[in-house]
Amino acid sequence: MRKKVSMRTFSLVLSIFLWGCLGFALVPNCVAADKHERAIGLYDVTVHFQDPAIDWMQISDAFVKQCLIDNGANGCIKLVYLPMRFLGNTTPQTLASSEETPGLDYAISGDLYKDDKGYRMEACMVTGKSRKMVLKTVRPSFTDPKEAPWKAMMAALELRSNNKGSRLLADCIFDYEKTQREANPRDHAIAPEFKLDGEDTVTRLKRGESHKFSISLIDCDGVSLSGAEVQVEVHKGSVKPATVRMDGSGKGEFTYTAPNENCEVQVRAEFPYVRGSEHMGVPVEVKFSEVQVGKVAGWNGTIKYKLAGSITGQAKKRGFTYPSQLDESATFTGTFKPEAIDVEGDAYRIVSGTGSATINDTIDEVNQGTSQRTRNTGKDSVSIPEGAFRLLFSKDGRSYSIEYTKVMFTMQYTIYEPNDPKQVWQEASPLNWFVPPLTLKDIPMPSEGIKLKGSRKIKVPVNLVGMVAEVEAEISWGFEPMKETTPAKH
């Protein structure tokens, strides 16, 4: 025997859900805030006849409660239920067949009919905009009016069932929206997202230069949105084409051309799409990597100097030979701002910076026929004078140069007995040690992005007693642009 269901329980549960959804339902133009969400309006059962044995509220409560049981989601669809009857409202809220419901993706309702065979319960789900039929079920006729609530529950359950059993309503909606996407590939999708081809990096262009961007558009189920039309916008410069149609693989390209001024530009792509429910989808967009045009406001940079190696020298006219071990390094960090004077290309000079150095040299040398061993050791930090370091860009924007003047540090040197490295011959005395002036020219600009980094090996002259030797040193550097930009010159 089928268990009798308490109508009081139905009413209580529905009232709780109504209260929880009240704030959402009171907004006439409410729209799902997440691209995966679908707003589902749950309406009362419409009783199409007069019969004192039929209680529409009990029937509707049973119908809506059964719908609310299914709150499952999948990777594309997430349900947001909006029962239409407010708490305590004794007026039935039935679905008008021809009126658009703002903000609802889908509407679920029931109908109870009566004819010479008895009562017949039906349920359906339609789109919220045009009332297009999505799901429908018709229950067999029954004669006992007390069974009406139970038949309403079963109609709600069978609405999302097929010959294999009951399903999640989210899966039913997903299958329906896939058919709409296939029929309307230009502007229909379920929950799409952009994917950038390549890294999201800063791109630096010279004035008037063009750069090609690539983009992919896929839906939540991994399907490439072939034929979809993407809108591209910029507030400075131009893009061509402004409407990009995705190819068979869901990929598209457009070209951005920089304006003839120094500026920072954000390239934005948007896909305005329609959900299967016929409402506009939650906007999906992507902001491409920042584009810097012309001279940036400044740079933060680091330059490292490293000299290490062994040399064997020969004293002039003495015939003596001696080995020496050099280990010297320095690091310079600073902020670079544009030069105040006009130059052929963009130029920046250091305005504030510091340098630190460490040396640990062992020099065996011959001085006036006497062999001696000298240790130059120490650490020191200094402030870098403004303008001592410069960063220069070529006029065509294809290369840059780094130059700096001599930077002096104060170290200590101690002379030891030549045959006893631990025996001090002369106590530690101040030593002025410096990184020699240098210019690194014609460094190619990076093919992607705006960060400048690299390294070079150079020959550095080293003055030792009785000779001048060349030792290989490595220079490495890294520069990043400051966030703000320099106003364009007019």
Q: Where are the domains of the chain?
A: 7-183, 193-293, 299-481
d(CA 220, CA 190): 7
Residue with tokens 């910076």: 353
Q: What is the pLDDT of residues 94-103, one digit of tens each?
A: 887 666 677 7
Max Cα distance, the chain (Å): 132
- CA atoms of 338 and 319, how far apart (whole Å): 53
Bridge partners (DSSP) of residue 204 are 292
Instruction: For residues 465 and 461, give the distance between their C-alpha atoms in angstroms, rounded to a whole number.
Output: 13
Q: What is the pLDDT of residue 428?
A: 79
Cα 467 versus chain centre, distance? 58
Strand 78-83: give its sheet, edge to edge: 78-83, 37-47, 106-115, 118-127, 133-138
pLDDT (mean) for 360-386: 76
Q: What is the chain's alpha carbon radius of gyration, rounded to the nearest angstrom? A: 39
**% of the chain beyond a pLDDT of 70:** 80
Per the model's pLDDT, the better-predicted residue between 347 and 373 turns out to be 347
The yes-or-no verdict on residue 21 having pLDDT over 60 is: no
Question: What CATH code would you report for 7-183?
Answer: 3.40.50
Q: Percent of the chain at pLDDT above 90?
A: 37
Residue 485 has what pLDDT? 43
Q: Tell me the two tokens of residue 239.
A: 């893009």
CA distances from 232 to 228, 239, 248, 255 (A): 13, 7, 19, 10
Q: Which of 149, 74, 152 is nearest to 108 (CA)?
A: 152
Rounded CA separation 266/64 (Å): 48
* pTM above threshold 0.85: no
Q: Residue 404 burial by CB count (10 A; 0-12/13-18/19+): exposed, middle or buried?
A: buried
Fold of 193-293: Immunoglobulin-like (2.60.40)
Q: Answer whether residue 18 shows pLDDT above 50.
A: no
For residue range 270-323, list pLDDT tens digits in order: 998 999 888 888 777 777 666 767 667 788 999 999 988 877 765 554 555 667
pLDDT grade, residue 2 (50/70/90)?
Answer: very low
